Structure 1
Amino acid sequence: MAEEWITKQIDKYIIVNQKLGSGAFGTVYRGFKKNDETKQVAVKAISIASIKDSAKMVEHIKREISILQQANNPHIVKLYDVARTPHYLYLFLEYCHDGDLKKYLSTKYGRRLSEVEAVIFLKHLVEGFRTLHQLKIIHRDIKPANILLHKGVAKITDFGFARVIDTGMNDPAYFSRVGSPLYMAPQILEGQPFSSKCDVWSMGVMLFEMLYGKPPWDGDNQYNLLQNIKKTVLMIPDAPVRSDKIKQLLRHMLVVQEKDRYSWEQIFNHEIIQIQEAQIKNNLEQLMKEKDELSRSESLNKLYLEMNLVVGYLDQPEQILQEPSTPQLTQGSEEKQSVDDINHEKGLKIINQYETEQKRRKAMLKYNTYFLFERNIAFFFNYVIQKIIKMSHQGILKLTQELYYSTIFCISKNQNVHLKRMYDQLMSTNPDKFDRETWGRYLISQEYKKILTVTKNDIKHTEDFYLEIYKKEKQIIDKELTQPDNKRATKIKQVLDVNFDQNNFFQQLYQSVVQEGLDVIKTSIKQTKDSDPVYKDLLQLGWFLVICLNPYLEFKDINMDFNQFYEEMQTLTETQFLEKIGKRLDL
């Protein structure tokens, strides 16, 4: 395409001279449907002059079109239409708003993800590969740049090197050497026969990169890379700490000898990939056996927390619905479409509108990030409650019965106050702290609908849990009030209700009760030897309660990765915890 053009009309689409990237065989531009500018598309433009003398390139492109027409899956980028003009072949593809995985990794500390988030990415992509596997398709170019992100969903793109296998998916065969070297299976690098397991290798390299911030092997060129792979045993770093299950999966995916490497069938059936429906059912059956209502509520809360501790950008795979297949129109290879230049002034206006829209979406997503941040702070309080319950049951935390229930009551109520404040903001038509126009756009966005649904579910659960704690606390307070001069019980009585509005009196009481819990922990720490296994548990809980007093001193950045925070908390040493809370507790 000549550089001077601004917009072009191809059939029922308008193409805008705004590059989104480059694929294996062409440049990708923004575009939209002629009669509806809100229906955006990504347009892959392939110069016919660049491929007419290469039968192999023509075959690759035909193959890409054929594969995209067949592969209907929410985790595979959709092909809407194909058109040909005298000079270009155009593929009109699904437009993904949020960039690619390579860019996403670059925004993260250490260019890595938490294990929880990496596994969600893996599940998304494995769901896409279920469809590819059924269609006997290998991709051959899996890498972070070819994973697009769209409103919480990861999607596989760029099938320029993909092909359909005529033999068994696990039967090695000779194919051309294509792909990105860093992610290529050693069989491709060496020019040996390979099967669909080449994609398992590439996915393994990408999973390793998501978990550790870099690929498992590198090299100055393809030869050195291959030698490093063949001569250097896979080294899995000690830090950051990862589960044995994910490390085991990596070892199976990154086996150099293809015959010993996991197949896609083994990936599909792996316990990490399978939605743990049986385990959830078993947990629910066990908690329903609890006779005491509070114990049952505590168990249910623990289960909910395990499944919903952190809410982030990605949707859980089981929440993603299959979109109906979009009719796809393929123009005949010799049919010529009219190419109309939109007038210069209108073209510039369209480009300016796109740039403005990008800025608006960026501003709108900041609102969504803020609400995710506030929601995850609310569930930090819940996490601390579970720590208190567990350590008390284990006999590590020695609070009096009155202080124990007062502490979990106050933290639970504070969580509900936090969630109600957040919900009130979400339901506001014109909140003070937000730009009115951007807020209006946010209210009609898919992101808003998702966070509102999450918040409603969270509130229902946390209120139910609070009510059971409230009932128990009421019994204890009524008993304590029969004793003379019980100041804490008298104050608790005044907030023993289901009102979750902001209240200065409650906040002062909350601070006082949490501080009492900290004083008990401080005494326990001083009386416990640092060689005792419970010493670290006490330091950790002490630090968590310090955060509870003012979470915004620890959680300062709305872009904070809470999954990484919880991972870090599991790996800190006693000395590191002491550095965090030593001055605060005078240790």
Structure 2
Amino acid sequence: MPKVVDNYVLERSIGKGQFGEVFKGYNKQTNVDIAVKCVKRELLKGKFTELLENEIKVLRTCNNDNIIKLYDIKKTANNIYLIMEYCNEGDLSQYLKQKKFLLEEEAVDYLLQILNGFKTLVKNKIMHRDFKLANILKHDGNIKIADFGFSKLLNDHQALANTMLGSPLNMAPEVLNNQEYDNKADIWSIGTCFYELLFGKSPFTATNMVELLKNIKTKQFVINRKVNNISPTAEDLLKKMLVVNPKDRISWQDLFNHEINFYQEEKLKQDLETTLKGGEVMMNMNKFYIKNNMVIDHPAEIKKKEELNNLAIQIAQNGPQNQQQQYDGPLLKKPQEENKLIRQDSVKVQGNQGSSQDIGNDEVTDKETQREKEIKAKKRNANRILHERNIYVFLASVAEEAMNNQTIQNYDVTGFFLVKKLLQQIDFLKTIILENKQNVYGLEFWEQFTQSKDYKDIHTYISKEFDVFKSYFDSIYEKLSEQIQYSTKVDDAIKQSINSNIKYNNQEILNKCLFDYSKLLIDSLKKSQIQDQHRQQWVHADRVLDCIRLEETFQFVDKNTNQQFNFKQYYENDNLLEIEALAKKVLQKFDKLK
């Protein structure tokens, strides 16, 4: 049997350190996943005891959506167990290795969550002192600041520290220089992490600490726009955080009030305002909705944009009203800074006898348990349905761009058929899979999954999206049917397909429209030199061709690597290619379809 400590079951080992192990487990009363940090009492000596007590104090002091939670502490005769929040997506260091670098929108999203966590740390006079990507965990796409083993709680009489702790590439220069430092050292560390996320490497590097300090003092970090063309706002923040002299470095208050904290929300509001003032509100609103909902990776992301999506649905159903045009509420749900702060007395980790017992003598392995396999399968099931959802939003994005393409006139038919196809796909998801609960994809633990909150949230979300795109379809049909009715340029088969039932879509006609449209696009692009100013047109052509080979392009799992399809990576790939390589890829795809 697995090891049990009171109500906590330790399922498997997920890491080892100098003073013990970290286990993945669960609370057998609530079935909530946990991480358990096991510290051997025999190793509690000297400075380490103080650091462990500090970590416990910090975790018990802070209650913030973006700081890892300490649920409980159990002491036995041999061990001390810290029962903590479990994060199911590893850390940002691992994530960055997969991604190479992050586009600004994603990097800023993570930065804002980090700053939200530090609002509580600063408020409670806590220095992290080892802030790095490996200590920033991810759970369902959300950030959790972790590993407070080197943290320090300051008081009114002690605002400085002098111990050199942390990771050199993320250490502030005053720490590297063995000077006294305050919590502004954490600002430097956050700045280095933000830079790493944006450019895939540290702002300053060296082969040793002496050389590193010299480079920091004498060299300016590089904003490599060929890697990531970041905004002036992001660049300004980096230049204010990565300042050698801590007195000249941005203050915490100015950091929390910097434009970076608000500019994404402001961009959304300005975009929304422009949308509502446009001539064809329904068409523009659809473009706004697609742009801000391209990829949903987790059911948890649905809640983030609830206000935004509800507004889009309301306008889609009722049209823009005065109160909606003046909407000034939050478009994005923000994490809580602090929730009902509960302070507890600090725990002394010394002692000879604990109140709990270790039950079960079998060695805890690093293999997944049956319970974990079920949880993993349920998550995969959610991903499978969201994958299909992301496909139909991809179709919507291509349709929207086709109908607004200024270089190819009078080609609304292609966009219309794409919207018709995506509506069929939403209807299939909504009716067959989510309402009738048919296990079409042969997923494991399907019946259990259909009882979960994730399933219900996805069902509600996709049902609402059907209403959004159905309103969009109706507005296109009304416009298009008048144009096509008496047109001599459109053949009878296309006219018949346009006027047919919404559930009927001739795939052969759709593919012919897509191919003809892609040929016009590519012929138009060939007339000009291959330059970056035409990138968006080449990207659009690439995606039109992918619509023709939809199933082949968007397989849920790659048969060679067994990796799930990554939509965010798909959208980034064309931006990463040199324009010549992008054009070559498009032409090769087109030649294969001839």
TM-score range, shorter chain: 0.7 to 0.9
Q: Is 1:545–2:544 an aligned residue pair?
A: yes
Q: Is 1:79–2:66 an aligned residue pair?
A: no
Residue 105 of structure 1 is matched in structure 2 by: 96
Find the partner of 2:582 among 562, 570, 577.
Answer: 577
Residue 189 of structure 1 is matched in structure 2 by: 176
Residue 398 of structure 1 is matched in structure 2 by: 408
SS in 2 for 1:229: helix
User: Do 2:381 and 2:443's aligned partners in 1 also have CA atoms closer than 8 Å?
Assistant: no
Per the TM alignment, residue 87 of structure 1 is displaced from its structure 2 partner at its CA by: 4.0
When residues 197 and 466 of structure 1 are mapped into structure 2, their CA distance, relative to the original with a 3 A threshold, is farther
CA distance in 2, matches of 1:477, 1:222: 71
Q: Is 1:21–2:15 an aligned residue pair?
A: yes
Residue 130 of structure 1 is matched in structure 2 by: 119
Letter in 2 for 1:91: L
Q: What are the within-5 Å matches in structure 2 for residues 190-205 of structure 1?
A: 190-205=177-192
Letter in 2 for 1:359: K
Q: What are the within-5 Å matches in structure 2 for residues 103-502 of structure 1?
A: 103-106=94-97, 108-110=98-100, 112-166=101-155, 173-244=160-231, 245-274=233-262, 276-290=264-278, 292=279, 295-313=280-298, 315=301, 316=304, 318-319=332-333, 322=336, 333=348, 336-344=353-361, 355-392=369-406, 397-400=407-410, 404-423=411-430, 424-437=432-445, 439-445=446-452, 447-480=454-487, 486-495=491-500, 497=501, 499=502, 501=503
Per the TM alignment, residue 220 of structure 1 is displaced from its structure 2 partner at its CA by: 3.5
Letter in 2 for 1:7: K
User: Do 2:76 and 2:357's aligned partners in 1 also have CA atoms closer than 8 Å?
Assistant: no
Structure 1 unaligned regions, length at least 5:
none
CA distance in 2, matches of 1:377, 1:91: 42
SS in 2 for 1:43: strand
SS in 2 for 1:308: coil
Aligned residues: 552
Letter in 2 for 1:101: L
Letter in 1 for 2:417: C
Letter in 1 for 2:514: V
Find the partner of 2:569 among 550, 553, 564.
Answer: 564
CA distance in 1, matches of 2:285, 2:426: 19
What RMSD, in angstroms, separates the aligned Cα atoms of the two structures?
3.5
Letter in 2 for 1:213: G
Give a deviation string over 1:139-163, Cα, whole Å, max 9, x none.
Answer: 1111222222223322111112112
SS in 2 for 1:258: coil
Per the TM alignment, residue 572 of structure 1 is displaced from its structure 2 partner at its CA by: 3.9
User: Do 1:8 and 1:339's aligned partners in 2 also have CA atoms closer than 8 Å?
Assistant: no
Give a deviation string over 1:14-56, Cα, whole Å, max 9, x none.
Answer: 45373333568653234444x527134322233333334x1x4
User: Do 1:31 and 1:41's aligned partners in 2 also have CA atoms closer than 8 Å?
Assistant: yes
CA distance in 1, matches of 2:24, 2:576: 45
User: Do 1:141 and 1:162's aligned partners in 2 also have CA atoms closer than 8 Å?
Assistant: yes
User: Do 2:53 and 2:347's aligned partners in 1 also have CA atoms closer than 8 Å?
Assistant: no
SS in 2 for 1:391: coil
Per the TM alignment, residue 172 of structure 1 is displaced from its structure 2 partner at its CA by: 7.5
Residue 61 of structure 1 is matched in structure 2 by: 52
Give a deviation string over 1:288-316, Cα, whole Å, max 9, x none.
Answer: 334x4xx1112212221232122235744
SS in 1 for 2:260: coil
User: Do 1:430 and 1:436's aligned partners in 2 also have CA atoms closer than 8 Å?
Assistant: no
User: Do 2:60 and 2:344's aligned partners in 1 also have CA atoms closer than 8 Å?
Assistant: no
User: Do 2:56 and 2:347's aligned partners in 1 also have CA atoms closer than 8 Å?
Assistant: no
Give a deviation string over 1:346-380, Cα, whole Å, max 9, x none.
Answer: x57x9799622333333333333333333222222
Structure 2 unaligned regions, length at least 5:
306-331, 558-563
SS in 2 for 1:118: helix
Per the TM alignment, residue 484 of structure 1 is displaced from its structure 2 partner at its CA by: 9.9
CA distance in 1, matches of 2:52, 2:208: 27
Higher mean C-alpha deviation, range 58-67 or range 451-460: 451-460
Residue 93 of structure 1 is matched in structure 2 by: 84
TM-score by length of 2: 0.81
CA distance in 1, matches of 2:550, 2:217: 49
When residues 219 and 456 of structure 1 are mapped into structure 2, their CA distance, relative to the original with a 3 A threshold, is farther
When residues 220 and 523 of structure 1 are mapped into structure 2, their CA distance, relative to the original with a 3 A threshold, is closer
Per the TM alignment, residue 8 of structure 1 is displaced from its structure 2 partner at its CA by: 4.7
When residues 216 and 492 of structure 1 are mapped into structure 2, their CA distance, relative to the original with a 3 A threshold, is same
When residues 542 and 210 of structure 1 are mapped into structure 2, their CA distance, relative to the original with a 3 A threshold, is same
CA distance in 2, matches of 1:197, 1:124: 18
User: Do 2:75 and 2:355's aligned partners in 1 also have CA atoms closer than 8 Å?
Assistant: no
Identity score, percent? 28
Per the TM alignment, residue 472 of structure 1 is displaced from its structure 2 partner at its CA by: 0.8
SS in 2 for 1:160: coil
Letter in 2 for 1:256: V
CA distance in 2, matches of 1:279, 1:484: 41
Residue 530 of structure 1 is matched in structure 2 by: 529
CA distance in 2, matches of 1:531, 1:355: 54
Q: What are the within-5 Å matches in structure 2 for residues 512-523 of structure 1?
A: 512-523=512-523
Give a deviation string over 1:466-494, Cα, whole Å, max 9, x none.
Answer: 221121112223343xx698425532343
Per the TM alignment, residue 514 of structure 1 is displaced from its structure 2 partner at its CA by: 1.9
Higher mean C-alpha deviation, range 22-31 or range 423-432: 22-31
Letter in 2 for 1:548: C
SS in 2 for 1:241: coil
Letter in 2 for 1:471: E
Per the TM alignment, residue 569 of structure 1 is displaced from its structure 2 partner at its CA by: 2.5
When residues 363 and 60 of structure 1 are mapped into structure 2, their CA distance, relative to the original with a 3 A threshold, is same
CA distance in 1, matches of 2:455, 2:273: 34
CA distance in 1, matches of 2:360, 2:18: 31
